[in-house]
Structure 1
Amino acid sequence: MIKSNGITRFLTKKVIKFITLLVAVCIVTFILLELSPIDPVTAYVGASTKVGAEQRALIAEHWGLNKPPIERFMAWFTSILQGDWGMSMIYRRPVLEIIGEKFLSSLALMSIAWVLSGVVGFVLGLISGANEGKTIDKIIHTYCYILISTPTFWLGILFVMIFSVMLGWFPMALSVPIGTTAEDVSFADKARHVILPAITLGLIGISNICMHTRQKVIEILATDYVLFAKARGENKKSIIFNHVLKNVSLPAITLQFLSFSELFGGAIFVEQVFSYPGLGKATVQAGLKGDLPLLMGVVIISLVFVYVGNTLADLLYRVVDPRIREVQKI
């Protein structure tokens, strides 16, 4: 077990790193948005030619776009520290309200995809590693290489064409039926809309878990204690369940927690393809329309999401392998 002072030291370092990383990411994001050719006022008013120069100046003043970049960044950062995340220029609603709404939609999508990629990837890796060099191993190996080199958006478009357009099994877009009020949307409707995007996102994450698990299984099967178990007459099934499974599962789980960043990045493409109203789609909209409050809010939430996943993975590694704790003490 990890001692309490060890946990305190570990979490303190993580919090310091998080604060430093958060400030750095916010500054870089703000600079990139400033260097972008997108004019927030033009994006705000759209293609309308009826908006004159005076009205544009008033809009810029209302949103604080007429101030110097440093002053705008400091004003935003100060309001964030005070708990005010600002108003979104696109939705004209509080940023926290929008993020809360969008994040719940994305969380359902990413949770299903995360479990799917972890379970399927682990099982395939176990089968592949236990049958090294055989036909099933070659098939799974090839399948993983194809998946890992397949762009997420291309796979999403392909699934839409096959399962939505040609077969009509799933809806093509959105998270609920069009024209249906929130009160009339059933759980079955939501589940039917989320299945195809979740499968698309989950399939991309299978390869890493599968290949990692396969390699670990091969290494464990070559160890002395497994060879001794074979010499005692244990069959392959018994060796897999008694010796391999417990030694492979925890490293696979920690790797799965480290995949949070890839999961969030993939969700952006999937939500665009399926027009799924989640946090990924809101990120793209905020970037394309220069919505600084919303984009910076999404950056903070996504950073928290990814950092928590990495921290949980590090914590699990420390629990599983005590040697890591000894190295970190030096």
Structure 2
Amino acid sequence: MNKNQLLKFFGYKLIRFLILMIAVSIFSFVLLDLSPIDPVNAYLKQAAVSEAQRQILQEYFGTNVPLTTKIFHWLIDLFQGNLGTSLIYRAPVVDIILEKASASIVLMAISWLLSGIIGFLLGVVAGKNKGSWIDKAVKVYCYAIQSAPSFWVGMLILMVFAVYLGWFPIGFGVPIGVRSTDVTFAEWATRLVLPTLTLSLVGLAPIAMYTRNELIQVLSSDFVLFAKSRGEKGWNLVKNHGIRNILLPAITLQFLSFSELFGGAVLVEQVFSYPGIGQTAVAAGLQNDVPLFLGIVLFSAIFVFVGNLLADLSYYLIDPRIKEKEFND
């Protein structure tokens, strides 16, 4: 992998990223403009104002200009890093997203790591013991959890561990009446456990089933049968010939799950009243905060794009056999 190939790869990804952001921006803006949401009414909240004052607000929010003009000004502001002012928080959208996203990224990062590691291990164990009670238990769990909405799993965990057992707080990022700057690490961590547990339990099912099926397929291949004929068996056989062939696609699948991870975080944060980007997105949608909602849509697009980019990079870092081929394509 030389410097020119690396520049070519990242240049191609940069062009795709710019096209994606422009397309998402225009599409989201058009959909919100066609919706019955009126930023002026959302800002006034049924307050009585004169027609002159309403016209001033319409000019401020740009609702009295053609759609093409709105899109043009929106894109200009976007490239300048200006996403407008949130109607809920009365603060720049960029500042709100940075503040809320930091809490969500911690939640999603821990959940992503746990779901990937535990899901992969469960898949390996189930695949090695195909047809056993362990394999059947893993399959039943994966099928059940994939059929259940993440918010339902979250409410179930909330009722069991917070309401009935009382082991953890019922929600929120900090105790009521305490400033976030005054919260201890233990108080913060205990309120992160249940949301993290929910996202992890939901996220590990796809990777576990995929790993199981891939391992079963690898263990039934000709080269593994040849290895068995030479006396290899048990976990040594799985480690030497199974894991190395399923690790790369499993990691790629895990990186590609960023979109599902973000969607699950939106619902889970709402269940546990966790002050992250997901709960903020729901609030922006319910309270007609168009600038904030558009900003969160762009953030989610960036988040998913980064996941896909990391999935591509995992090929070049893990499997040296395809580095040159992919970079030269």
| TM-score normalised by length of structure 2 | 0.92
Q: 1:318 to 1:182 in 2, by over 3 A?
A: closer
RMSD across aligned positions (CA):
2.1
Equivalent residue in structure 1 for 2:164, among 141, 163, 166: 166
- 1:10-25 pair list within 5 angstroms: 10-25=9-24
- The one-letter code of the counterpart of 1:274 is F
Distance in structure 1 (CA, Å) of the matches to 2:56 and 2:273: 33
Other-structure match for 2:269: 271
Match of 1:33 in 2: 32
- Structure 1 residue runs without a partner (length 5+): none
1:285-317 Cα distance to aligned partner (Å, 9 max, x none): 222333232222222222111111101111222
Show the 5 A alignment for 1:194-209.
194-209=192-207
Offset of residue 323 of structure 1:
4.8
The 2-side partners of 1:55 and 1:273 are apart by 39
Where 1:5 maps in the other structure, the secondary structure is helix
Q: Which of 42, 60, 63 lines up with 1:62 in the alignment?
A: 60
CA distance in 1, matches of 2:294, 2:48: 30
Structure 1 residue 61: Cα displacement: 3.4
Give the partner amino acid of 2:19: T
Instruction: Indicate if the aligned counterparts of 2:6 and 2:327 stay in contact, CA closer than 8 A.
Output: no
1:168-187 equivalences in 2 (<5 Å): 168-187=166-185
Go from structure 1 to structure 2 and tell me whether the alpha carbon gap of 1:327 and 1:11 turns closer, same or farther (over 3 Å shift).
closer
Secondary structure of residue in 1 paired with 2:288 = coil
Matched, 1:135 2:133: yes
AA in 1 matched with 2:131: G
Separation of aligned partners in 2, 1:287 and 1:6: 43
SS at match of 1:73: helix
Asked if structure 2 preserves the Cα contact closer than 8 Å seen for 1:38 and 1:289, the reply is no
Letter of the 2:35 counterpart: S
Provide the residue aligned with 2:296 in structure 1.
298
Q: Deviations over 1:218-247 (max 9, x none)?
A: 122122332233223233021122322232
- What residue is the counterpart of 2:106 in the other structure? 108
Find the aligned partners of 1:261 and 1:105 in 2 and give their Cα distance.
17
What is the CA deviation profile of residues 74-121 of structure 1, one whole-angstrom value per residue up to 9, with x for unaligned ones? 222112212323211211111111111001000011011101110110
Aligned residue number for residue 79 of structure 1: 77
Where 2:169 maps in the other structure, the secondary structure is coil
In 1, are the aligned partners of 2:120 and 2:211 still within 8 Å (CA)?
A: yes
Q: 1:309 to 1:132 in 2, by over 3 A?
A: same
Q: Output the amino acid matched with 2:179.
A: T
Structure 1 position 284, deviation (Å):
2.0
- Matched to 2:141, the amino acid is Y
1:223 maps to 221
The more displaced of 54-63 and 270-279 is 54-63
CA distance in 1, matches of 2:226, 2:142: 32
Distance 1:54 1:276, change over 3 A: farther
Q: Quick one: which amino acid aligns to residue 5 of structure 1?
A: N
Moved more, 27-36 or 83-92: 83-92
One-letter amino acid of the structure 1 residue matched with residue 196 of structure 2: A
Matched position secondary structure for 2:295:
helix
Give the fraction of aligned pairs with identical amino acids, expressed as a percent.
48
> Who is 2:152 aligned against?
154
**In the TM superposition, what whole-angstrom CA distance separates every residue of 1:263-294 from its partner, at most 9, and x where no partner exists?**
01111111111111111122222223332322
AA matched with 2:30: I
Normalised TM-score (structure 1): 0.92
Do the aligned partners of 2:173 and 2:191 also contact (CA within 8 Å) in 1? yes
Partner of 1:240: 238
Q: Secondary structure at the match of 2:232?
A: coil
Q: Quick one: which amino acid aligns to residue 9 of structure 2?
A: F
Partner of 2:43: 44
Structure 1 range deviating more: 29-38 or 291-300? 291-300
